[in-house]
Structure 1
Amino acid sequence: MATGHEALRAYELLVHDTRVPAVGDSGTGQLRLEFSSDTQLPELIEALRHVFAAAPELDSVLLVPDGQPVGSTARIRFQQQVPEPDGCNDELSVRGGLGAGDHGTLPGAPTRFTVYRYRCGRCEHTSYRIAADEAPPLCPAAGHGEMRMDP
């Protein structure tokens, strides 16, 4: 198991494009996934599966640990890099892939997180976040303010 610096930066394995939108750039239309940098890789993988499943038209997701965008993960690269859950019991496939390590994964999907969806009430900007115990994210469009959590 990864520890220290290695564990805290495991999310970087999912970054395929390190370009990030400029501050205040609301024209990118890129969806954000906000999470704490100490989020474990299996939890982040499951969150991305949820986000990509909820938005089939989505090509990529901007990863935002601790409020700092680090880059995006593309759907096609994510699907190539991360095995699908086994249809029988939701365990990671034994074919390997990102997060599989020595294939000694515990049975079942991670249960320590929930993905929350936030939307701006004035435009169509959407953001996903793993933690809900923080202040709501702000819409990047000037003057739009806090986003609301979707039920």
Structure 2
Amino acid sequence: MNAYHLLLDPAAGQDVRARRIVVPDGAPLDLVATAIMAVFDEDAECAAVTLVVRGLPSGAVSRARFAQLVGAIGVHRGDGAVGAGDGGTLPGPPNRFELFTYTCTACDARVYRLEADRQPPDCAVAAHGAMELQP
């Protein structure tokens, strides 16, 4: 079990076409939480994201559960919480990483990665094949 299980919502289920975030081995929890926040901020219709750890779906994080967690503990970037009064956090996309977005050309599936130096992921629908990196 990894630290990401704290974010998972068993009630969210796993939709084969859900948004997926591929989590690199050893990624810190705050980085994963910031990536989830970026996905939810980018896609207002997205109700849940599936975390993929070591190539396997680990579980889903629902927007509702994530909002509860963020409201309770805040999402951290670096050493302090967002808006903690250090004056170093600016509005806009996070600057610790870039979230690479891949989309399926046959359906609306999306995969988000924190690394772009690997082969493009395949759509969860096997017949759809490789996904395309979006600018």
TM-score interval (norm. to shorter): 0.7 to 0.9
1:118 aligns with 2:107: no
Query: For residues 63 and 74 of structure 1, what CA distance do their matches in structure 2 show?
Result: 11
Moved more, 114-123 or 44-53: 114-123
Select which of 109, 114, 131 maps to 1:147. Answer: 131
Count of aligned pairs between the two proteins: 124
Query: For residues 20 and 36 of structure 1, what CA distance do their matches in structure 2 show?
Result: 22
State the secondary structure of the residue aligned to 2:128: coil
Select which of 100, 105, 121 maps to 1:137. Answer: 121
Q: TM-score, normalised by structure 1?
A: 0.70
1:1-151 to 2 correspondences below 5 Å: 9-17=2-10, 21=14, 28-83=16-71, 84=74, 91-92=81-82, 108=89, 111-151=95-135
Aligned-residue CA RMSD in angstroms?
2.8
For structure 1, the residue ranges without an aligned partner over 5 or more in a row are: 22-26, 95-106
Query: For residues 29 and 75 of structure 2, what CA distance do their matches in structure 1 show?
Result: 15
Contact 1:117–1:149 (8 Å) recurs in 2: yes
Contact 1:64–1:70 (8 Å) recurs in 2: yes
Query: For residues 18 and 135 of structure 1, what CA distance do their matches in structure 2 show?
Result: 32
State the secondary structure of the residue aligned to 1:143: helix
Deviation at 1:51, TM superposition (A): 0.1
Name whichever structure is richer in helix by fraction. 2
The letter for the 1-side match of 2:82 is L
Deviation at 1:124, TM superposition (A): 2.0
Deviation at 1:91, TM superposition (A): 3.7
Question: Which has the larger Rg?
Answer: 1
Name whichever structure is richer in strand by fraction. 2
Query: For residues 19 and 58 of structure 1, what CA distance do their matches in structure 2 show?
Result: 12
The letter for the 2-side match of 1:16 is D
For structure 2, the residue ranges without an aligned partner over 5 or more in a row are: none
The percentage of counterpart residues that share the same residue type is 31
